């Protein structure tokens, strides 16, 4: 038997046939945490998520458990066939399904094997998924140091949002990883250089944090404004809050900047900004009388 035939048989035995795949309705906890990791575009299309970013997938993850089970089984058949032909993305997508319990009963151990195969075959998304699995401890022991290693590999392989994960790790610290805002800022900057909107927001937010040793208001406002104009509502809300508390004195004595960012946040769907807009007259009357 040839080496390629041996590999095919190994993969054929590793991936159960569609008739033997166990489907499951995700529980509330699974729906809440269903969005970790990164599928390829084909998996996103299955959930009606085509064209969205990783951060948008994470924000919408409760919806990912509601896909038609018939479509899941049909897509599984397609992905299995593609994996048997050596498609790295297919291995990654199958691993993502088993990692998250998206209609397929969770099997994080199998997911990890598939991610490793996919990563060896060149999938950057699989490297990111291995990092997520190590960070969140899904099917493995929590290992922040291993997560950092995989996140770094994923970023170098072309996954910009890995910089946000690394920045967050260094901003807050974790077991064996001391907090280091300098490193956090550096990673957020690398993500921002790749135009990742969450990296831009995180960079601006941390630079505008007066309690941080990396406090730099000019840098913070620049990146928050960049992210806000790209539609990142969290950045717009942070700018709204910043100018809400500073319009009594420079840089916004008349509240013009406050109103600009608040109104933009309203357009972007911010409930907090809507509340501030409804209280507009009362807010300014109180400020003038104080």
> What is the tens place of the pLDDT at every residue in 108-133?
999 999 999 999 999 999 999 999 99
Q: Dihedral of CA 122/123/127/130: which sign?
A: negative
pLDDT digits (tens, 9 = 90+) for 50-78: 444 555 554 444 334 445 777 778 888 99
Q: What is the pLDDT of residue 88?
A: 93
Cβ neighbourhood burial of 55 (10 Å; 0-12, 13-18, 19+) = middle
**% of the chain with per-residue pLDDT over 70:** 77
Q: What is the pLDDT of residues 165-198, one digit of tens each?
A: 999 999 999 988 999 999 999 999 999 999 999 9
- 41 or 211: which carries more pLDDT confidence? 211
- Residue 174's beta-bridge partner residues? 177
- How wide is the angle at C-alpha 98 spanned by C-alphas 97 and 101, nearest 5°? 80
In the predicted model, what is the mean pLDDT of the chain? 83
- Does 270 have pLDDT greater than 70? yes
Report residue 84 as tokens: 């048997």
CB 32 within 8 A of CB 63: no
**Would you call 211 helix, strand, or coil by DSSP?**
coil
Residue 58's nearest CA partner among 30, 28, 29, 38 is 38
Alpha-carbon span 101 to 24, nearest angstrom: 8
What's the pLDDT at 112? 95
pLDDT of 202 reads 98
Is residue 287 scored above 60 in pLDDT?
A: no
State both tokens at 175: 């077991």
C-alpha torsion 106→112→118→119, nearest 10: 140
- Give pLDDT, residue 30: 61
All residues at 6 or more sequence positions from 28 whose CB lies less than 8 Å from its CB, including other chains: none
Nearest by Cα to 237 from 218, 253, 261, 215? 261
Mean pLDDT of 202-214: 97
In what helix (H) or strand (E) does residue 234 lie, and over which residues does it extend?
helix 233-244
Three-state secondary structure readout of 60-124: CHHHHHHCCHHHHHHHHHHHHHHHHCCCHHHHHHHHHHHHHCCCECCCHHHHHHHHHHHHHCCCH
Residue 248 in this model has a pLDDT that exceeds 50: yes
The reported pTM is 0.83
Q: What is the pLDDT of residues 19-32, one digit of tens each?
A: 788 777 766 666 65
Average pLDDT over residues 88-104: 85
Tokens of 278: 């409804």
The dihedral built from the CA positions of residue 105, 107, 112 and 118, taken in this order, carries a sign that is negative
**Predicted confidence (pLDDT) per residue in 132-145, tens digit:** 999 999 889 999 99
- Is omega for the bond preceding 251 within 30 degrees of 0, making it cis? yes
Count other C-beta atoms under 10 Å from residue 211's C-beta.
6
- How far apart CA 106 and CA 99 sit, in angstroms, is 6
Q: Are 37 and 99 in contact (CB under 8 A)?
A: yes
Using pLDDT thresholds of 50, 70 and 90, give the confidence band for residue 40.
confident
Phi, psi of 47 (to 5 degrees): -95, 15
């Amino acid at each position: 038997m040839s080496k390629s035939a041996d590999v095919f048989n190994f993969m054929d035995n590793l991936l159960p046939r569609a008739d033997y795949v166990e489907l499951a309705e995700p529980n509330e906890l699974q729906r809440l945490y269903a969005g970790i990791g990164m599928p390829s575009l084909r998996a996103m299309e299955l959930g009606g998520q085509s064209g969205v970013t990783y951060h948008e997938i994470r924000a919408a993850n409760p919806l990912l458990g509601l896909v038609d089970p018939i479509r899941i089984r049909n897509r599984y058949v397609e992905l299995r066939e593609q994996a048997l032909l050596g498609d790295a993305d297919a291995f990654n997508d199958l691993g993502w399904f088993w990692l998250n319990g998206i209609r397929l009963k969770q099997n994080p151990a199998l997911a990890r094997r598939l991610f490793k195969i996919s990563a060896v075959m060149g999938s950057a998304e699989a490297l990111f998924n291995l990092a997520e699995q190590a960070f969140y401890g899904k099917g493995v022991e929590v290992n922040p140091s291993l997560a950092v290693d995989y996140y770094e590999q994923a970023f170098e392989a072309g996954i910009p949002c890995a910089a946000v994960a690394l920045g967050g790790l260094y901003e807050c610290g974790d077991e064996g990883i001391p907090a280091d805002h300098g490193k956090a800022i550096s990673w957020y900057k690398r993500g921002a250089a790749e135009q990742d909107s969450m990296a831009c927001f995180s960079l601006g937010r941390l630079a505008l944090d007066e309690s941080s040793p990396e406090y730099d208001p000019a840098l913070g406002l620049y990146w928050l404004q960049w992210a806000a104009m790209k539609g990142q509502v969290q950045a717009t809300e942070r700018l709204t809050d910043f100018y809400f508390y500073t319009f009594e004195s420079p840089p916004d004595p008349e509240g013009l900047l406050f109103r600009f960012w608040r109104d933009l946040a309203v357009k972007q769907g911010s409930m907090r900004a809507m509340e501030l807009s409804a209280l507009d007259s009362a807010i300014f009357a109180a400020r003038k009388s104080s």
